[in-house]
Amino acid sequence: MRLGKSLALTGTLALLACGLGTTPASAAAQAAASCPSGYVCMWEDPYYGGDLYVQQYAINGHHEIDGWNGDNEISSVINNTGKCVVLYANDAWSGRTHPIQKSGAQRLRPDLRLNGYDNEAESYGIFNSGC
């Protein structure tokens, strides 16, 4: 009885895994889907490519970008927090800042090269105002 139930569950999981691998979607749509509502997401490459180094829920205050996985590598950002996100060029919320707006197209940074802020961010903040 116990074994039969376990095998059935394994089969269901295998089917789910197959389904996930075959979903057709554009890179942009995948990126948007991979940054859930209420989160800010930051990627290694422009146009939401490469490694997803930051996926942080909208908790107000200061946050660090990991020194090995993100510092001076962030090239695109989606701000789905509904709040202002401010990038800092150095650790511990210092250095040149780059604010990202809370709504509209201006909450997207598909290519930080266009903003003169590519591979700069090392920490960030989430605030109710200031953008």
Chain centroid to CA 1 = 44
Residue 75 is a binding residue for Ca ion (CB under 5 A): yes
> Does residue number 64 form part of the binding site for Ca ion (CB under 5 A)?
yes
- Among 65, 77, 86, 100, interactor with Ca ion by CB under 5 A: 65
Judged by CB, which is closer to Ca ion: 24, or 116? 116
Residue nearest to Ca ion (CB): 75
Residues 90-109 touching Ca ion, rule: CB under 5 A, are 91
Give whole-number Cα distances, 6 to 10, 11, 20, 65, in Å: 6, 9, 22, 41
Q: Which of 40, 48, 54, 71 binds Ca ion (CB under 5 A)?
A: 71
In this complex, which beta carbon is closest to Ca ion, that of residue 76 or of residue 79? 76
| Cα–Cα distance, 48 to 70 (Å, whole number) | 14
Q: Which residues pair with 100 in a beta bridge?
A: 85
What is the C-alpha to C-alpha distance for residues 46 and 112, in angstroms, rounded to an integer? 7
Extract the tokens encoding 109. Answer: 């940074």
Contacts to Ca ion by CB under 5 A = 64-65, 71-73, 75, 89, 91, 119-120, 122
